[in-house]
A and B are shown apart, each in its own frame.
Chain A
């Protein structure tokens, strides 16, 4: 019970801190992908006439990408910026990254609501299939949380990790077929997306939000495996390092 109260208080802190002194607050969660969409339409659209319903294709990938990118970018600094709390309060340290996940999820769900309304004009089909988004979000959260744990705990000792992550994020974004169709990638570069775990999750999301073809089990199993792998590596590393956080912050 106390754990839930603590988690709630920490997540609330994150939400308050994020949009302090901001005019539109949580709506940024939706405006950000929209701005990206406009950029893509201006730059790329003529090239990708082949993709049917380009807006839906891009936004479905973008909102999930931004969930991942916001979460990891913010929680890289999470442990370091909570130094005051860690030194003063006795609590399970895992609550700190977990609260980041929860506040980002909260943000994401609000974005999703706006998304569902706006996408009506872009030809989204409402069906019972959309409920499959729930397990998608759970799996993607587990995956992102694992990455978060690795980044936030290693960054305490080697601050290079945070800088490196923020630098390679745009590269990771363009290496994932979010703004362009995967079929556009030349044969000899296909291995790049094959080893890009985020690609699998974006694909999974698209089978729910964008495509209407039959569902395949393979992609679900692939994503579940990736999520479990990331989560277990993250938890292992975090528990190895957490006792020494206080020495480095």
Chain B
């Protein structure tokens, strides 16, 4: 245990031999015969990630690149502690802000304010609730009238504004962004990018999944390239981004 602590001293995130697999459901009308004869197991394990290892120092930012379905979102969830690794370990030495993904956790039937209160309570608050709600209103630029409407009436851009603002409400060491910057109007996109750079300059770590290698190059210090659930290369951000560009 002592040694383990020493090793973690300056590392913020340590992922070692992480493996994750999902149950793949084969059940369906076509397989009733299979079910009855018990020839085929109705559930098979489908590996999503295998043997993923990397580490990240404090203040470094990481870009994650890869094709659709290569396991990027799953890796993010494993880092955030939402999924337990089946093999290997994930150690995080700091607090993580909720994952920024499109519409993350928003309940469409509830109003904006109800969503804010629900998610703040679920994420755990570090500050005063009223103050946080005020911050969210200001940052999202959504009027009180809009926030009193059910979220199902919102446009994709408004949902993104709300989700982004709620995720940023807490002070956390690590910010995880899962390709969300594409929605929202130009003004809000720029505001978000500006906010992300501001957080980075404050020494926060940013884990950034994107399909735009140019943005990754600007923001990140390190990058890794995922393919079929394994890291095929990691290290210098420019090398990885060039490799990603050559994939297509």
* Contact (Cβ within 8 A) A85 B122: yes
Given A88-B105, A91-B122, CB of A244 within 8 Å of CB of B22? yes
- In the complex, what's the smallest C-beta–C-beta distance from A72 to chain B, in angstroms? 21
Query: Within the complex, which residue of B77, B110, B114, B123 is in contact with A87, where a contact is CB–CB below 8 Å?
Result: B77
Total contacting residues, chain B, CB less than 8 A: 32
A13→B122 CA distance, assembly (Å): 12
Determine which residue in B77, B83, B99, B103 has the highest number of CB atoms from chain A within 10 A of its CB, and name it.
B83
Residues of B within 8 A of A86 (CB): 82
Query: Within the complex, which residue of A6, A17, A88 is in contact with B101, where a contact is CB–CB below 8 Å?
Result: A88
Tell me the chain B residues, 1-42 only, with Cβ under 8 Å from chain A: 22-25, 27
Majority-rule SS of A interface residues: helix
* Contact (Cβ within 8 A) B124 A2: yes
Residues of B within 8 A of A248 (CB): 23, 25
Give a binary string over A4-28; 1 marks a CB under 8 Å from any B CB, 0 the rest.
0110111011001100100000000
Kindly count the residue-residue contacts between A and B in the assembled complex, taking CB atoms under 8 Å apart: 74
- In the complex, what's the smallest C-beta–C-beta distance from A78 to chain B, in angstroms? 13
* Contact (Cβ within 8 A) A84 B117: no
* Contact (Cβ within 8 A) B23 A89: no
Which A residue sits closest to B123, measured CB to CB?
Answer: A89
A88→B77 CA distance, assembly (Å): 8
A86→B82 CA distance, assembly (Å): 8
- In the complex, what's the smallest C-beta–C-beta distance from A37 to chain B, in angstroms? 31
Residues of A within 8 A of B117 (CB): 9
A183→B17 CA distance, assembly (Å): 65
A89→B43 CA distance, assembly (Å): 26
Query: Within the complex, which residue of B23, B81, B96, B122 is in contact with A9, where a contact is CB–CB below 8 Å?
Result: B122
Tell me the chain B residues, 96-121 only, with Cβ under 8 Å from chain A: 96, 98-99, 101, 103-107, 109-110, 114, 117-119, 121
Determine which residue in B81, B99, B107 has the highest number of CB atoms from chain A within 10 A of its CB, and name it.
B107
* Contact (Cβ within 8 A) B114 A13: yes
* Contact (Cβ within 8 A) B124 A157: no
Given A6-B122, A88-B98, A247-B23, CB of A17 within 8 Å of CB of B82? no
Determine if A158 is an interface residue (Cβ-Cβ < 8 Å).
yes
Which B residue sits closest to A246, measured CB to CB?
Answer: B83
Determine if B49 is an interface residue (Cβ-Cβ < 8 Å).
no
Determine if A47 is an interface residue (Cβ-Cβ < 8 Å).
no
Residues of B within 8 A of A188 (CB): none
Residues of B within 8 A of A20 (CB): 109
- In the complex, what's the smallest C-beta–C-beta distance from A13 to chain B, in angstroms? 5
Determine if B84 is an interface residue (Cβ-Cβ < 8 Å).
yes
Determine if B224 is an interface residue (Cβ-Cβ < 8 Å).
no
Interface size grouping (class) on chain A: 20 to 34
Determine if B206 is an interface residue (Cβ-Cβ < 8 Å).
no
* Contact (Cβ within 8 A) B25 A85: no
Given A10-B122, A89-B82, CB of A84 within 8 Å of CB of B25? no
Determine if A167 is an interface residue (Cβ-Cβ < 8 Å).
no
A244→B23 CA distance, assembly (Å): 7
Determine if B237 is an interface residue (Cβ-Cβ < 8 Å).
no
* Contact (Cβ within 8 A) B110 A84: no
Given A89-B82, A89-B122, CB of A84 within 8 Å of CB of B23? no
- In the complex, what's the smallest C-beta–C-beta distance from A90 to chain B, in angstroms? 5
Given A157-B43, A243-B83, CB of A16 within 8 Å of CB of B110? yes
Residues of B within 8 A of A10 (CB): 118, 122
Residues of B within 8 A of A6 (CB): 121-122, 124
* Contact (Cβ within 8 A) B105 A89: yes
Determine if B220 is an interface residue (Cβ-Cβ < 8 Å).
no
A20→B110 CA distance, assembly (Å): 9
A17→B121 CA distance, assembly (Å): 17
Given A88-B99, A89-B82, CB of A13 within 8 Å of CB of B107? yes
Residues of B within 8 A of A243 (CB): 83-84, 86
A195→B103 CA distance, assembly (Å): 46
- In the complex, what's the smallest C-beta–C-beta distance from A159 to chain B, in angstroms? 9
User: Which residues of B come within 8 Å of A, CB atoms?
Assistant: 22-25, 27, 43, 77, 80-84, 86, 96, 98-99, 101, 103-107, 109-110, 114, 117-119, 121-124
List the 4 shortest-distance A-B pairs measured between CB atoms, nearest first.
A247-B22, A9-B121, A88-B105, A88-B104
User: A9-B117, A10-B118, A247-B22 provided; 11 other pairs, C-beta below 8 A?
Assistant: A13-B107, A13-B110, A13-B118, A16-B110, A17-B109, A84-B107, A87-B101, A87-B104, A88-B99, A157-B43, A246-B22
9 contacts between A and B (CB under 8 A): A5-B121, A12-B118, A17-B107, A87-B82, A88-B82, A88-B105, A89-B123, A157-B27, A243-B84
